[in-house]
Chains A and B, each alone.
Chain A
Amino acid sequence: MKINSSLQLAWRSFWVLKKFRPEPVWAQLAIASALALPIGFCMMFINGVLRGRLFDLFSCLCIAYSMLAIRRVIEKLLPKTSIDTVSEAGSQRAALIVTVIAITGTVLGTALSLSADAWLGGWNAWGAFLAHGAAQSVFLAFVMVVAVANWFWWRLRVRQDTLLHQTMEAQLRLLQAQIEPHFLFNTLANVQSLIDRDAPRAKLMLETFTDFLRASPDQLRNTESTLAAELAMTGSYLSLLQIRMEERLRFEIDASDEALAATLPTLLLQPLVENAIQHGLEPKVEGGRVRIRARVVDGRLDIRVEDDGLGLASARRSRRQGNGMALSNIRERLHTRYGASAALTLMPQAVGMQALLSLPYRSPA
């Protein structure tokens, strides 16, 4: 159990720079060996330019351990703050450092294995290496392969990290919105005010509030959801606000069956609706209407959120912040997930604002 968890810990932190490493050294060595041995075996079958095939295996181990050692030295030398900035997802410097570690590790490991071979086997490995043009080119090719493989591996990891990071940011935003004091306390105050005067309405309000809160665990656990689930959550949010704002808020949700079945990243839609309310309708004296329309057109899912609120004028007087953050989070997630084939467009209307979310249509079936 303990061995298992140490290995797991070592595996998880194997690919990142860390000032403090809780995992034992043997676990790090074990992981490094486990990665180096298969590569060594492969090379045994591919070449064997220098003496014997076992040498490749030995070299690979030396290289892996050298990389570990160099990484640890760098981690010890750099201050904690710069390690933290460097290991942030998406940082080009992190890629550079990891690649440098890979290249120097390969060079150092090879040199070590050559020297060790000379020392243990009494054979002039260095001389043979220097005399052998082919051995040198193989070595150079090996360094290149290691560097390039490292680069691609790192890119893949960063992409995954970024996706996860952005989803977590959106989930955090949902949690914040739910416990946002204005929202929470005003909702509770409304329930309080209705209990004696209009008990059925108070009950309805509590139930709607519960629906809204209950929708979120799924949204928080997963990164993908269906439009039907997303709209259910948004629907209860709007119903709740409708009880509070009364005639100042009207809303309409209109989605085709095909659109309802679509899968999409969670929590892309909800922040757009919250924006329409908070920046469009809540600050507008006469209130207004929110309309959500979802259609599948030519293999794309188009979701429109329209309001006839303050539109661009709201920016000047809104006391709430963080609007831009929510939008940029949506854009980043679309970009990481779909590249250039998805977009969020905000279009100021004569009255109000329209947000268009357009992404490739995907359905679970």
Chain B
Amino acid sequence: MTRALIADDEPHLALYLQEQLALLWPELEIVHIARNGNDASAAIEELEPDLAFLDIQMPGLNGLEVAQGIEGDTRVVFVTAFDRYAVQAFDHAALDYLLKPYKSDRLVRTIERVKAALALQAAGHDAPGDARFANALQQLTRGPAAPARLRFIRAGQGEYVHQIAVSDVLFFHADEKYTVVQTASAEYLIRTTIIELTEQLDPEQFWQVHRATLINLNYLAGTRRDERSRMFLRIKGHASELRVSRAYVHLFKAM
């Protein structure tokens, strides 16, 4: 049985999608309805549904950010009232997108596409378009490209300001308010977000591997897959492993 999650901050719209899906795809089980991005992200992590219908503009994490944080096999269909860029970027890349308000025959088409992709995945194939999906996500969450290359990070600590060469950074990892700058010897807190960092750092050297994580390729020691085919990265000079979101796994297949 296929399991799905719906995330939309407007309850009538979430309920409507649930009703329509019950009509048109009765075998589909809706495991959770989320009212915001944070809830959606946590529920996807916990319940590991096969499918997530994500509204793009939501409080907390937005739909794009939720998609960037998915580590397991959950596939995404974006549901949005309007997002010119998203529509363009996802036209080929996402599993599908729905424009609100939608007619039921449009939803039927989405259901067919999803079923086909899930069948491919069950047969052990990767669905086409994964790489494009990740690229599109990255383009959407970033602003227009700024060519400026950052060479040093400045991090305040008490009365000191530390200057850290970018080449010494193993990885950046974001939590709620701060971004952790991890070097071999220490960690520092800065206020710059991961999105801002990806805009300012060399994309050849720094790879985003998760909504919250940006790694320095020079320190990548290897990858590991667990039994549920989730991917983890080992970093030189750092004990714990880093998680890779599903949208970025393809980056390491080509290596």
Contacts and interface: CB of A to CB of B under 8 A. Distances in A.
Looking at A186, A246, A316, which has the most chain B CB atoms within 10 Å of its CB?
Answer: A186
Interface in B56-80: 57, 59-60, 62
Interface in A313-337: 316, 319
8 contacts: A188-B101, A192-B16, A192-B101, A193-B16, A193-B101, A282-B9, A287-B59, A316-B193
B82 A246 contact: no
Nearest to B16: A193
A160 to B, nearest CB: 38
A190 B82 contact: no
Interface size range of chain A in the complex:
20 to 34
A182 B86 CA distance: 13
Contact of B9 (A193, A248, A316): A248
Given A182-B57, A285-B38, A319-B57, A189 B11 contact: no
Contacts, number: 64
Interface in A26-44: none
A152 interface: no
Q: Which of A182, A192, A193, A194 gathers most chain B CB within 10 Å?
A: A193
Interface string B2-23: 0000000111110110010000
B10 A186 contact: yes
A12 interface: no
A181 interface: yes
Nearest to A245: B10
Contacts of A192: 16, 101
A284 interface: yes
B59 A193 contact: no
A246 B11 contact: yes
Nearest to B65: A317
Contacts of B57: 182, 282, 319
A190 B81 contact: no
Given A197-B15, A244-B12, A248-B9, A182 B59 contact: no
Interface of B: 9-13, 15-16, 19, 35-36, 38-39, 57, 59-60, 62, 81-82, 99-102, 193
Nearest to B101: A189
B81 A197 contact: no
Nearest to B99: A185
Nearest to A185: B81
Given A192-B101, A285-B36, A182 B13 contact: no
A348 interface: no
Contacts of A182: 57, 81-82
Interface of A: 181-182, 184-186, 188-190, 192-194, 197, 243-246, 248, 282-285, 287, 316, 319
A245 to B, nearest CB: 7
A316 B177 CA distance: 11
A319 B62 contact: yes
A84 to B, nearest CB: 28
A319 B62 CA distance: 10
Nearest to A195: B16
Contacts of A287: 59
Contacts of B100: 185-186, 189
B22 to A, nearest CB: 12
B9 to A, nearest CB: 7
A197 B13 CA distance: 12
Contacts of B102: 189
A244 B15 CA distance: 12
A244 B13 CA distance: 9
Contacts of A284: 59
Given A182-B82, A185-B82, A197-B15, A285 B10 contact: no
A192 B60 CA distance: 26
A189 B9 contact: no
Nearest to A243: B12
Nearest to A287: B59
Given A186-B81, A189-B101, A283 B10 contact: no
Most buried by B among A184, A189, A248: A189
Contacts of B60: 283, 285
Contacts of B38: 285
B10 A190 contact: yes
A290 B81 CA distance: 24
A188 B16 CA distance: 13
Contacts of A193: 12-13, 15-16, 101
A282 B59 contact: yes
B211 to A, nearest CB: 13
Given A190-B13, A194-B12, A248-B35, 17 more contacts: A181-B81, A181-B82, A184-B81, A185-B101, A186-B10, A186-B81, A186-B100, A192-B101, A193-B15, A244-B10, A246-B10, A248-B9, A282-B57, A285-B35, A285-B38, A285-B59, A316-B193
A285 B40 CA distance: 12
B190 to A, nearest CB: 14
Contact of A245 (B9, B19, B99, B193): B9
A248 B58 CA distance: 12
Q: Which of B11, B81, B82, B102 has the most CB of A within 10 A?
A: B81
Contacts of A244: 10, 12
A186 B99 CA distance: 10
A189 B15 contact: no
